Chains A and B, each alone.
Chain A
Amino acid sequence: MVSREKKLKIKDISWLTLVLLLSVLPLIPGFTANSFRMHIMILIMLYASMAQAWNIIGGYCGQVSFGHSVFFGIGAYGAGMAVVTYGGTPWLGIIIGMILAACVAVIISYPCFKLSGHYFAIATFAIVEIFNRGFLVWDWIGGALGLDYPIIEEGLKNFMWHNTKTPYYYLALLIFVLIFSIVRWLEGHRFGYYMRAVRDGQETAESLGVNSTAIKLTAMALSASMAALCGSFFVQYNLRVDPPMVMSLDTSMKFVLVTILGGSGTLAGPLLGAAVLVPLQEYTRAFWGGLGGGVDLIIFGLLIIIIVVKQPAGMIGILQYIQKAFKKTKLQEVK
């Protein structure tokens, strides 16, 4: 037991170093203000946070939701409404958005959790489409026109900066650290074990006194509110939101793909997925975008097929494989 705790500490230290490294890295180009590189760093943090939010319900609790873009959108609209419609600071909107997303998650998940397999997946698709079209015709929140941010005073109060991306980066890092810490904490606590028990065998978990419905709903609510937080960051960074931009199957798929390709149900998977996929996507777009629309996505599509088919455990599986191979050669050397 002692060794177990020690191991965890070592793991935590390596995590801290990684986060520290990530926060120092952008400082180097930060002064030269290479905004493209900065943009990529921000996207990595954002996607890693989104994926980690999804990982709570999808990876640890085993409920594969394709509906997370709805929560992402609610968060985005929470902040957007606060700024554009009410002319206030986005912070209150962010909090309301997170709470609202959690409530919506519980209300729509309760009946959906009674469905199994593909029926559940398709139900979550259906919900995304309903929200997407519902928001398109809802005039109060801007309808199909969406919300366009006015230029207002920059600073933390308004969550807006005009000439530099560095503060955005640090806020993204903060969100990333927050969500990762929550998941890290969950991993070692009763709730985290219960989530995984529900994933691996709902009936078994119930036979051991686990109220699986309550666990799934709580995990979904937590995951949804974190997704909403990511959504509100997105809108503050993007300064514009309309329904197809946030509430679409493609956005939902980003949540799922980054996690699965990185390694679902693991702490590091979402970061790995984002750190590989985001630069890949952005650089292919930058380099091959000139060949006509869609080349980056053609490559991306192929890549998804290859990784999903060949490496079901995601990139973390590849890392583990390399680690094992490395250990083996070391052992042979000793012999």
Chain B
Amino acid sequence: METFIQVLIDGLLSGMVYALVAAGLCLIWGVMDIINFAHGEYLMIAMYVSYWLGFLANIDPVISVVASGVFIFIIGVLTYKLIIRFTIGRPGLVALLATFGLAMFLKNFCMNRFTPNFRILSGTWLGDKTFQLGGLIFPVPQLAAGLLALIVVGIIYLIISTTKFGWAVQATAMDKEAAELMGINTEKIYVLIFGIGGACVGIAGGIMPTYLAVHPEVGSMFGLIAFVCVAMGGFGSIPGALLAGLLVGVVEALAGFYIAPVFKYIAVFALYLAVVFLRPKGIFGW
């Protein structure tokens, strides 16, 4: 029983981070109906930012996470300005393939500059520390990442659902033309949403080097899992993405522990198929 709860906790912790990665994608998907294929690569770059700041300037990820968030915010804005802007109003496949090209570019750029080697950031404040509670072990880095993820997702949700900016975002998502007629600068909303979506994944990537090795391929699987979480949660629903992220984390941990590690992802993707075959628009979709 204790092992089961321990596995469950591990799953929930990684699920929170998935939720944060997915929340960024979810915003973009919900507002612009675009799948950003380079989302996983954003994460990878954020991890490199955090790694290099830690390795070269000795700045701990806990602090440099702000820099990672800002950096990916800028990359998100640039992506919008240079690529996505031209794909608005065209079939969804166009943006998907263009961002696939971007993902290919970013991944191989890092491969070329930083080599495919795995890099581990050692001696961080949080690294390798654990915290015990009644026989259960909580790895501190994961716990911090999970809590940070929850806080950021909560803030994003509050911004979208209560602020004036959030209402403008919602209006743009529902009907771009009508929103424009009401005086909303939808172009600005799109830029900001791409930036904020990037910042979410930037924050997630910023904290992750405390417990995960950095390499050019690290983002791909996170990107795919983020797609799955967003689609499972339902079109642009942040609570949906949070729930789906947690669910994916738990299922992954359980399958990995009780069946075999290879089955982790089989279980995750099978879960996605099961959910959408029953509810074609996801858990919170309509």
Contact = CB atoms under 8 A, between A and B. Distances in A.
Q: Do chains A and B touch in the complex (CB under 8 A)?
A: yes
A301 B231 contact: no
A129 B269 contact: yes
A117 B262 CA distance: 29
A257 interface: yes
A127 B260 contact: no
Contact of B276 (A115, A301, A302, A310): A115
Given A122-B272, A137-B260, A312-B90, A293 B111 contact: yes
Interface string B100-121: 1111111111011001100000
B222 to A, nearest CB: 13
A310 B277 CA distance: 36
Interface in A168-221: none
Interface string B253-264: 000000010110
A298 B224 CA distance: 21
Interface in A121-173: 121-123, 125-127, 129-130, 133-134, 136-137
Contacts of B269: 126-127, 129-130
Contact of B282 (A119, A133, A253, A312): A119
A312 B135 CA distance: 59
Nearest to A126: B269
Contact of B101 (A126, A136, A137, A302): A302
Chain B interface SS verdict (over half): helix
B281 A130 contact: no
B276 A123 contact: yes
Contact of B100 (A114, A137, A304, A309): A304
Given A115-B276, A118-B231, A126-B272, A291 B101 contact: no
A300 to B, nearest CB: 6
Q: How large is the interface on A (under 10, 10 to 19, 20 to 34, 35 or more residues)?
A: 35 or more
B111 A133 contact: no
A157 B280 CA distance: 48
B112 A122 contact: no
A116 interface: yes
A130 B270 contact: yes
Nearest to A110: B277
B123 interface: no
Most buried by B among A127, A129, A249: A129
B101 A118 contact: no
Contacts of A122: 35, 227-228, 231, 272
A253 B104 CA distance: 11
B96 A305 contact: no
B262 A137 contact: yes
A257 B37 CA distance: 14
Contacts of B150: none
B93 A305 contact: no
Count chain B CB atoms within 10 A of each CB in A127, A130, A300 and give the residue with the most. Answer: A130
Contact of B35 (A121, A293, A301): A121
Contact of B98 (A114, A292, A300, A308): A308
Interface string B205-224: 00000000000000010001
Contact of B104 (A111, A134, A301): A301
B224 A129 contact: yes
Interface string A285-318: 0000001111101101111110011101000000
A76 B224 CA distance: 25
Contacts of A121: 35, 92, 96
A111 B102 contact: no
Interface string B71-113: 0000000000001001100101110111011111111110110
Contacts of B147: none
A256 interface: yes
Nearest to B224: A125
Contact of A119 (B86, B100, B231): B231
Nearest to A307: B101
Given A130-B270, A302-B105, A119 B92 contact: no
B266 interface: yes
Contact of A294 (B94, B108, B220): B108
Contacts of B281: 119
A253 B98 CA distance: 12
Closest 8 CB pairs of A and B: A304-B101, A301-B105, A294-B108, A301-B104, A126-B269, A305-B101, A294-B111, A297-B108
Interface of B: 29, 33, 35, 83, 86-87, 90, 92-94, 96-98, 100-109, 111-112, 115-116, 220, 224, 227-228, 231, 260, 262-263, 265-266, 269-270, 272-273, 276-277, 280-282
9 contacts: A117-B92, A125-B227, A130-B270, A136-B262, A137-B263, A257-B100, A298-B104, A305-B102, A308-B94
